[in-house]
Copies of this chain bind each other. A is one copy, B any other.
Amino acid sequence: MLTQQELVERMREWAVRVTPQRLAIAEVVLNSQDHPTVQQIYERVRDHFPSMTLATIYSTLGVLQKSGLIQELPFQRQSRYEPNMEPHVNLVCIECENVIDADTSSDVHDMVVSLRNSVTERSDFEVGWQRVDFYGLCPRCSAAKRRGELAEV
């Protein structure tokens, strides 16, 4: 986790001014675990900045992304935002639509890294970052389905 000082420095690479609004947005996203949508970020930040608008959120998310601090994850309906830039795996439940990081043990990390190495070894593709999503049913929805509570998929 970055200190606020480091965060400000990173943001200055792409934004001339780092305002309290931007800091608040950055902190909401960087401290999140649930890959929030723009709406969710908006709701969380609005507590501190009632005048906050979506345009400002989008603008700041753009800055954070260009600073390499977060990653946009486009989904079918809308994007979510990922503060974990380390190689890892996302588990996406197709039923409840929650997105969580898979157990971040070092060997999952290492496997993604070596997959990346293996791919770059044999192509001149210059990889900057990656997105690894596994889609399926989370334990809760999986159980609900077994109990017949879910419509057929």
Contact = CB atoms under 8 A, between A and B. Distances in A.
A127 B79 CA distance: 21
Contacts of A91: 119, 123, 125, 127
Interface string A122-149: 1111111111111111110010000000
20 contacts: A72-B76, A74-B74, A74-B75, A74-B76, A91-B127, A93-B125, A102-B123, A102-B125, A103-B123, A108-B119, A111-B115, A112-B115, A116-B134, A124-B142, A125-B142, A127-B136, A129-B134, A130-B132, A131-B132, A132-B132
A16 B101 CA distance: 38
B125 A136 contact: yes
A118 B111 contact: yes
Interface of A: 72, 74-76, 79, 89, 91, 93-94, 102-103, 105, 107-108, 111-112, 114-116, 118-119, 122-139, 142
Given A89-B119, A111-B115, A112-B115, A128 B135 contact: yes
Q: State the oligomeric state as a number of copies.
A: 2
B138 A125 contact: yes
B128 A131 contact: no
A125 B135 CA distance: 9
Contact of A134 (B93, B125, B137): B125
Contacts of A118: 107-108, 111
A74 B74 CA distance: 6
A125 B115 CA distance: 22
